[in-house]
């Protein structure tokens, strides 16, 4: 029986559970002995001109090895969308947390003392701390551009005519709030220049190779002069793609002081200086017929890009995925990306797609509410049908495969939807202050959306062992085990003889790495392709050894032996024997470049109880159907969904990054930021579905982000549904007690009038 599709515990776990793994700050490499410790002095103000920087006192502090500012660096600033971002701010600071100086000391505990002594004089410029303030264009972050709007995309002028035939039209503005990725391991990097003139950077990253290229460019050296190693990485969620600016400064400083440098940020730095996610304001207009058929949909996106617009692809990706699982005849989308004096925004689990789904699924509920129809029914009427695939959306996406109605039916059936609605009704009739709310989200997302490829290499050694190198860069997903399972299945080699390696640019020079849920579909396909080539090499060798024609040879993948077809009694060759006959070893190093984006989908149902007297929301159940094609390892497949559900629900229920009107962060510690705990989440109820795609060698789609995308609107819709009978039509996330209570008060007053 094939190992693929069976529950396999992870090969990655042993070191993590016995020795706590080896993250950047755990490294005790010889090359890092005597390393200086590093801390960045960061701006305490949101927007100011730097009048002066005096480092003399800091330089004289105990243990200080160097204090550096923008004036010392002499590195060209890097592009952030249409503007430039300095490595260290020298003239203007644009967000609280922006790095201004670097302090290096002998001992870790000397850092804070010395950093205190760096004297920086700021002349405040007035802060742009919200999307509204940005659009007002009164204070500009980049006066030379003339506006805080950095990018406009999509429909030039909206046409209200698309809603002309509609019986009902509903418009809602939805805040998709800023959240913090907050991986448990904060950012860290260690740098050492070798005597050979090469820089080695150990970096907590999702993409060692991209980081290598970035660092070589920024430091002005050849790519061959930089080696990046991703050791164990304690979560990334999109916020550890490539190298952050700090890594360049550290690499520069290590050369400057002639010693290795090690840096790990504090959690407060992480919550203000690592990129944030989401931060959109979306206005949706939806119109259609009384039977629930949607005729037209408009999505108007405003992306808060933060102080440096590093990732303006996010709002356009939101536009691309605007129509989700529905066949809407008329669609308009537009997006604007604006800058504010806040932490830069970048990818966060879902990266543009959750925002599209959240807007759309709130719109569907608002539309159903206006019509007095069940939200499940309205969705069924509008789903793209299985026979319509491949489906070209009006916004330009080409969906591969989908069974959207089946996914919703499964979710509702598992949850006992009809009974839950009956319970909701019973409570309402009894005047129960604890309302029951049901929230539906049907979603489709795009994985491997970058359309890039990935590298894979497979070696078979004369002892019969297999070593594979993947360009993907797993950091918790368990991809190594999944790839080993695929190889075991394909080659007939037991798991314990297979090693999967990744994350070192000297071992894997060419790769993209991990983001956008691309790893299994692209990295997995590359490994499949490499193993195919190794099998082809082995076939010829085995044919020579057995004195048979290559076409007559077959690999018995059950036993892992080569034999002549139709002559099972004849001699067989083990992988060890075939590999021994090769010169050195069997080896194939490939680039899988044929990967097109795939479109995983699903349906979630959330059940909440809302205490209408206190506003407290209790997430009771979440039933999730997530279809990402054939499942390699159900254990890790489910693990990815669990994590996604937790993070998605967290956004709906509690998490939000906030600033005051002067741009001061007010959620800069884990005591202030409402990171979700075990107490606020229920056990998850998962239902499997597996609709394959034809767009890669494995038929798989990505599962890393899918559950995040469905769960946020499902939980959000559930909270609004609980309050709907009391007159609440919408409230923004997170649905904290004060917001729920305030919404109920406002609706109550409106009802009285």
CB of 672 to another protein, least distance (A): 8
Q: Do 215 and 201 touch, CB atoms closer than 8 A?
A: yes
CB of 684 to another protein, least distance (A): 5
CB of 33 to another protein, least distance (A): 13
Q: How many CB atoms lie within 10 A of CB 435?
A: 22
Q: Which is nearer to another protein, 21 or 126 (CB)?
A: 21
Q: How many CB atoms lie within 10 A of CB 472?
A: 32
CB of 445 to another protein, least distance (A): 18
SS (HEC) of 174-191: EEEEEECCCCCCCCEEEE
515 CB-near residues (< 8 Å, 6+ apart):
206, 207, 238, 241, 347, 351, 450
As a whole number of angstroms, the distance between CA 361 and CA 439 comes to 10
Q: How many CB atoms lie within 10 A of CB 660?
A: 11
Q: Which is nearer to another protein, 570 or 669 (CB)?
A: 669
Q: Which is nearer to another protein, 26 or 160 (CB)?
A: 26
Residue 290 structure tokens: 């009384």
Q: Which is nearer to another protein, 28 or 156 (CB)?
A: 28
CB of 28 to another protein, least distance (A): 7
Of 269, 185, 209, 201, the residue nearest 35 (C-alpha)? 201
CB of 233 to another protein, least distance (A): 7
Q: Which residues are near another protein by CB under 8 A?
A: 9-10, 12-14, 16-23, 25-26, 28, 108-109, 182-186, 232-235, 237, 264, 266-268, 475-478, 635-636, 638-639, 642-647, 669-671, 675, 677-679, 681, 683-684
Phi-psi region of 682 (alpha: psi -120 to 50; beta: other; left: phi over 0): beta
CB of 423 to another protein, least distance (A): 21
Buried b (16+ CB within 10 A) or exposed e, 48-83: bebeebebeebeebebbbbbbbbebbebebbebbeb
Q: Which is nearer to another protein, 30 or 91 (CB)?
A: 30
Q: Which is nearer to another protein, 233 or 412 (CB)?
A: 233
As a whole number of angstroms, the distance between CA 202 and CA 194 comes to 13
As a whole number of angstroms, the distance between CA 409 and CA 736 comes to 30
Q: Which is nearer to another protein, 180 or 610 (CB)?
A: 180
Q: Which is nearer to another protein, 557 or 670 (CB)?
A: 670
CB of 307 to another protein, least distance (A): 24
Q: Is the peptide bond before 338 cis (omega within 30 degrees of 0)?
A: no
As a whole number of angstroms, the distance between CA 630 and CA 628 comes to 7
Of 659, 662, 648, the residue nearest 733 (C-alpha)? 648
CB of 309 to another protein, least distance (A): 26
What are the distances in angstroms from CA 416 to CA 132, 284, 412, 700?
Answer: 43, 31, 6, 30
Q: Which is nearer to another protein, 26 or 51 (CB)?
A: 26
């Amino acid at each position: 029986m094939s190992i693929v599709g069976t529950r396999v515990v992870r090969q990655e776990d042993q070191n993590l559970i016995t020795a706590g793994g080896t993250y950047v700050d755990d490294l005790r490499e010889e090359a890092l002995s005597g390393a200086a410790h590093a801390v960045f002095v960061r701006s305490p103000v949101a927007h100011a001109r730097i009048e002066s920087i005096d480092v003399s006192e800091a330089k004289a502090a105990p243990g200080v090895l160097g204090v550096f500012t923008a004036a010392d660096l002499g590195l060209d600033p890097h592009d952030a969308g249409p503007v430039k971002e300095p490595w260290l701010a020298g003239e203007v600071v644009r967000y609280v947390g922006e790095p201004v100086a670097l302090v290096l000391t002998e001992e870790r505990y000397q850092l804070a003392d010395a950093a205190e002594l760096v004297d920086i004089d700021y002349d405040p410029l007035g802060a742009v701390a919200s999307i509204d303030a940005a659009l007002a264009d009164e204070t500009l972050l980049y006066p030379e551009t003339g506006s805080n709007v950095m990018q406009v995309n999509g429909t030039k002028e909206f046409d209200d005519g698309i809603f002309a035939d509609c019986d009902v039209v509903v418009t809602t503005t939805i805040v998709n709030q800023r959240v913090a990725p907050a991986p448990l391991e904060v950012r860290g990097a260690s740098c050492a220049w070798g005597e050979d003139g090469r820089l080695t950077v150990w970096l907590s990253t999702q993409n060692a190779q991209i980081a290598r290229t970035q660092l070589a460019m920024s430091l002005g050296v050849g790519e061959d002069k930089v080696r990046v190693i991703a050791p164990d990485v304690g979560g990334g969620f999109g916020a550890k793609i490539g190298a952050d600016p700090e890594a360049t400064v550290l690499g520069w400083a290590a050369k400057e002081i002639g010693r290795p440098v090690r840096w790990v940020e504090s959690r407060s730095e992480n919550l203000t200086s690592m990129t944030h996610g989401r931060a959109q304001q979306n206005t949706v207009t939806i119109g259609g017929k009384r039977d629930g058929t949607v005729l037209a949909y408009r999505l108007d996106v405003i992306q808060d890009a933060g102080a440096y617009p590093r990732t303006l692809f996010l709002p356009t990706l939101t536009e691309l995925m605007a129509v989700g699982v529905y066949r809407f005849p008329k669609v308009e989308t537009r997006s604007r990306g604006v800058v504010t004096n806040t932490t830069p925004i970048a990818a966060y689990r879902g990266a543009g797609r959750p925002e599209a789904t959240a807007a759309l699924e709130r719109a569907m509920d608002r539309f159903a509410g206006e019509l007095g129809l069940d939200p499940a029914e309205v969705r069924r009427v509008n789903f793209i049908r299985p026979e319509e695939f491949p489906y070209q959306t009006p916004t330009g996406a080409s969906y591969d495969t989908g069974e959207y109605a089946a996914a919703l039916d499964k979710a509702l059936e598992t949850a006992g939807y009809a009974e839950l609605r009956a319970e909701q009704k019973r409570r309402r009739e009894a005047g129960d202050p604890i309302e029951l709310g049901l929230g539906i989200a049907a979603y489709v997302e795009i994985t491997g959306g970058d359309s890039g490829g990935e590298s894979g290499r497979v070696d078979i050694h004369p002892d019969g062992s297999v070593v594979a190198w993947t360009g993907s860069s797993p950091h918790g997903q368990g991809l190594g085990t999944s790839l080993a399972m695929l190889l075991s299945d394909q080659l007939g080699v037991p798991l314990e003889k297979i090693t999967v390696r990744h994350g070192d640019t000297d071992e894997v020079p060419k790769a993209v790495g991990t983001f956008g849920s691309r790893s299994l579909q692209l990295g997995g396909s590359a490994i499949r392709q490499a193993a195919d080539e190794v099998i082809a090499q082995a076939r010829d060798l085995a044919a020579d050894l057995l004195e048979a024609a290559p076409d007559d040879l077959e690999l018995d993948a059950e036993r892992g032996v080569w034999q002549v077809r139709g002559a099972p009694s004849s001699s067989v060759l083990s992988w060890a024997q075939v590999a021994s006959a090769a010169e050195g070893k069997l080896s194939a190093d490939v680039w899988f470049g044929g990967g097109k984006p795939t479109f995983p989908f699903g349906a979630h149902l959330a059940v909440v109880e809302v205490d209408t007297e206190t506003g407290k929301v209790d997430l009771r159940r979440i039933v999730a159907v997530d279809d990402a094609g054939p499942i390699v390892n159900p254990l890790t497949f489910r693990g990815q969904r669990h994590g996604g559900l937790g993070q998605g629900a967290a956004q709906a229920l509690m998490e939000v990054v906030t600033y005051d009107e002067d741009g001061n962060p007010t959620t800069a510690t884990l005591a202030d930021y409402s990171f979700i705990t075990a107490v606020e989440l229920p056990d998850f109820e998962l239902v499997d579905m597996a609709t394959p795609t034809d767009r890669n060698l494995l038929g798989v789609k990505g599962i890393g982000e899918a559950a995040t995308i469905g769960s946020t609107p499902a939980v959000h819709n559930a909270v609004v549904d609980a309050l709907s009978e009391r007159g609440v039509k919408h409230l923004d996330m997170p649905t904290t007690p004060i917001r729920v209570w305030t919404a109920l008060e406002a609706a109550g007053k409106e009802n009285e009038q």
